């Protein structure tokens, strides 16, 4: 008999606490603190989370030199995206079961559920055991990723004394807590808003859409219907107006020769073929 998954008290405690502490940032405003926060949210998070965790580790949309792959994974940990193997396993589960009962953040259960509330309950598949080996066997076979998955919490916490040492309590609040809160909500909007409000380029079986404001805020991740249609494509913007900063980072790395085998977006004729393939499937 399988027991019903309960509340995830660890997540409830941390997510709530970080939101409450982040509010104290308003008493410590400085231009330096603001700039550090913005750099974290709009420059480092797209690198660590979008390029590293999502497009490289999860979808293998390009091949990267080992030093770059490992650095991006460490950056994702430092930015508070959690252990990479867990992130990848959950996200692959999301793609496999998108908008069904088995989707970890099923958008049919409403905006707040897919945005944040799913994190407050223990996931059924996660509770059932070997989900990491099942959904992330490639990472489970990589000793560096296994180590990162084991010790991630120490690395993530190490950012706080480092920020304090550089800029005192104000920088801890702006560069640590507030930055993390914004990063999380932007990442979560991809799961919530980009499954609800926008237009569709591809007739996928899920409810994914391209949501323009998430496209901008999340550095390209908001073109989510495109992404669900062709998950291993390194570019999430497939039309000229779908600007995708994260893909520009990948192109830059390619220019330097640090990445290769970059999966490109379809050309307009391939775009029509892809659309037709979906309609026939
Ligand atoms: Zn999705
Ligand atoms: Zn994805």
106-161 per-position pLDDT tens digit: 999 999 999 999 999 887 666 566 888 889 999 999 999 999 999 999 999 999 99
Q: For residue 102, how far is its CA from the centre of ligand 2 (angstroms)? A: 16
pLDDT in tens, 253-266: 999 999 999 998 76
Q: For residue 259, how far is its CA from the centre of ligand 2 (angstroms)? A: 19
pLDDT at 281: 42
**Out of 32-36, 64-68, 124-128, 198-202, least confident range:** 124-128
The domain segmentation of the chain, as residue ranges, is 9-280
Task: Tell whether the model's pLDDT for residue 278 goes beyond 50.
Answer: no
Using pLDDT thresholds of 50, 70 and 90, give the confidence band for residue 280.
very low
Q: For residue 121, how far is its CA from the centre of ligand 2 (angstroms)? A: 22
Residue 117 CB contacts under 8 Å (≥ 6 apart), including other chains: none
Q: How far apart are CA 187 and CA 42, in angstroms?
A: 11
Using pLDDT thresholds of 50, 70 and 90, give the confidence band for residue 197.
very high
What mean pLDDT comes out for the span 190-216? 95
Q: For residue 2, how far is its CA from the centre of ligand 2 (angstroms)? A: 29
Asked if residues 127 and 12 have their Cβ atoms less than 8 Å apart, the reply is no
Closest CA to 4 of 159, 177, 121: 121
Q: For residue 192, how far is its CA from the centre of ligand 1 (angstroms)? A: 8
Q: For residue 208, how far is its CA from the centre of ligand 1 (angstroms)? A: 6
Task: Tell whether the model's pLDDT for residue 182 goes beyond 80.
Answer: yes
Task: Tell whether the model's pLDDT for residue 1 goes beyond 50.
Answer: no
Residue 195 CB contacts under 8 Å (≥ 6 apart), including other chains: 99, 107, 114, 206, 207, 208, 209, 224
pLDDT at 6: 86
Q: Which ligand is nearest to the CA of 49?
A: 2
Closest CA to 176 of 30, 53, 14, 33: 33
Mean pLDDT of the residues in the chain = 90
pLDDT at 240: 92
Task: Tell whether the model's pLDDT for residue 72 goes beyond 70.
Answer: yes
């Amino acid at each position: 008999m399988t027991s019903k998954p309960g509340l995830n008290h660890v997540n409830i405690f941390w997510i709530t606490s970080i939101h409450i502490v982040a509010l104290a940032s308003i008493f410590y405003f400085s231009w330096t603190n603001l700039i550090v926060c913005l750099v974290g949210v709009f420059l480092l998070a797209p690198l660590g989370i979008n390029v590293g965790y999502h497009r490289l580790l999860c979808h293998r949309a390009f091949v990267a030199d080992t030093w770059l792959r490992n650095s991006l994974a460490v950056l994702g940990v430092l930015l508070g995206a959690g252990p990479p193997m867990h992130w990848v396993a959950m996200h692959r589960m999301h793609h496999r079961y998108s908008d069904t009962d088995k989707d970890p953040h099923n958008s049919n259960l409403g905006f707040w559920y897919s945005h944040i509330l799913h994190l407050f309950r223990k996931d059924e598949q996660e509770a059932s055991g070997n989900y990491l080996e099942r959904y992330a066997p490639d990472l489970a076979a990589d000793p560096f990723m296994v180590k990162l998955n084991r010790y991630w919490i120490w690395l993530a916490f190490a950012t706080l004394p480092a920020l304090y040492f550089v800029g005192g309590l104000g920088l801890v609040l702006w560069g640590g807590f507030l930055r993390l809160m914004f990063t999380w909500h932007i990442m979560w909007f991809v799961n919530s808003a980009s499954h609800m409000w926008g237009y569709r380029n591809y007739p996928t079986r899920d409810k994914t859409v391209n949501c323009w404001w998430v496209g901008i805020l999340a550095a390209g991740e908001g073109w989510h219907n495109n992404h669900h249609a062709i998950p291993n494509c390194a570019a999430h913007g497939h039309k000229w107006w779908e600007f995708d900063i994260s893909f520009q980072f990948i192109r830059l790395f390619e220019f330097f020769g640090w990445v290769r085998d970059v999966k490109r977006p379809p050309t307009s004729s391939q775009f029509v073929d892809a659309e037709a393939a979906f309609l026939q499937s």
